[in-house]
Chain A
């Protein structure tokens, strides 16, 4: 039970929010718990849910990489809810649990086969809330060797937003049904 009770689904009247909840359930991230809590603040719920789904499942960076980064962040945030959810889209693209674990705990190991671009992106997520001071000009120069500035902004905004929502959900004591 979360510290703040979610609204029942049938108490959510806003068709846009209902559509976003359905879209999220199809994706698998988040399930209906997080948006039903957010629905208590309906003016915030719609743009937050739209940004959550868009930043994760759309954009120009490989969704499998972003899914791995999302789980890495959720584990770091110690947020059991988001850490236990999985993207059905990424799974359909071939992302396995073993690959997720490698991406979270062993991405620097050359034997794991992550590209230099993937390593740099995973390091970006790893360092952002561990030691942001290490994300300096030299780090961004390294990122720019592999990623356009547009994609670096896509990754940075994705990391910031998802980690923030994970910390919020951690505070609520949320756990996924799966």
Chain B
């Protein structure tokens, strides 16, 4: 939906239906759309996770050093080491 929305076509929905009900697909689609929008917005605000990967509560400056400029979910695993 984010990187190649044209690939979410009828064939893709047919594939989804092998695993999920139509009601569940709507739930997933709304969830993805919501997150697609908000995580881009949040990224512009430059705030970082409150917790380090080891569970410590950290300030924004330390968290920025730990997590870097890119969201961890979109980067390589090393980004959060």
Residues of chain A at the chain B interface (Cβ within 8 Å): 3-5, 37-38, 40-41, 44, 48, 78, 128-129, 132, 135-137, 139-140, 156-157, 159-168, 170-173
Contacts and interface: CB of A to CB of B under 8 A. Distances in A.
A48 B23 CA distance: 15
27 contacts: A4-B13, A5-B22, A37-B26, A40-B23, A40-B26, A41-B30, A44-B26, A44-B30, A44-B31, A48-B34, A132-B40, A137-B46, A156-B44, A159-B41, A160-B37, A160-B40, A163-B40, A164-B32, A164-B33, A164-B36, A164-B38, A165-B34, A165-B37, A166-B33, A167-B2, A167-B36, A170-B5
Nearest to A136: B44
B37 A132 contact: no
Given A44-B31, A156-B44, A161-B38, 10 more contacts: A4-B13, A38-B30, A41-B30, A128-B41, A132-B40, A163-B40, A164-B38, A165-B33, A171-B29, A172-B29
B41 A157 contact: yes
B54 interface: no
Q: How large is the interface on B (under 10, 10 to 19, 20 to 34, 35 or more residues)?
A: 20 to 34
Contact of A132 (B1, B35, B38, B43): B43
B5 to A, nearest CB: 6
B10 A161 contact: no
Contacts of B58: none
B1 A168 contact: yes
A171 B5 contact: yes
Contact of B41 (A5, A160, A170): A160
Contact of A167 (B27, B31, B33, B45): B33
Please give me the 7 A-B residue pairs with the lowest Cβ-Cβ distance, nearest first.
Answer: A164-B37, A168-B33, A160-B41, A160-B37, A164-B33, A135-B44, A41-B27
A167 B44 contact: no
A136 B43 CA distance: 10
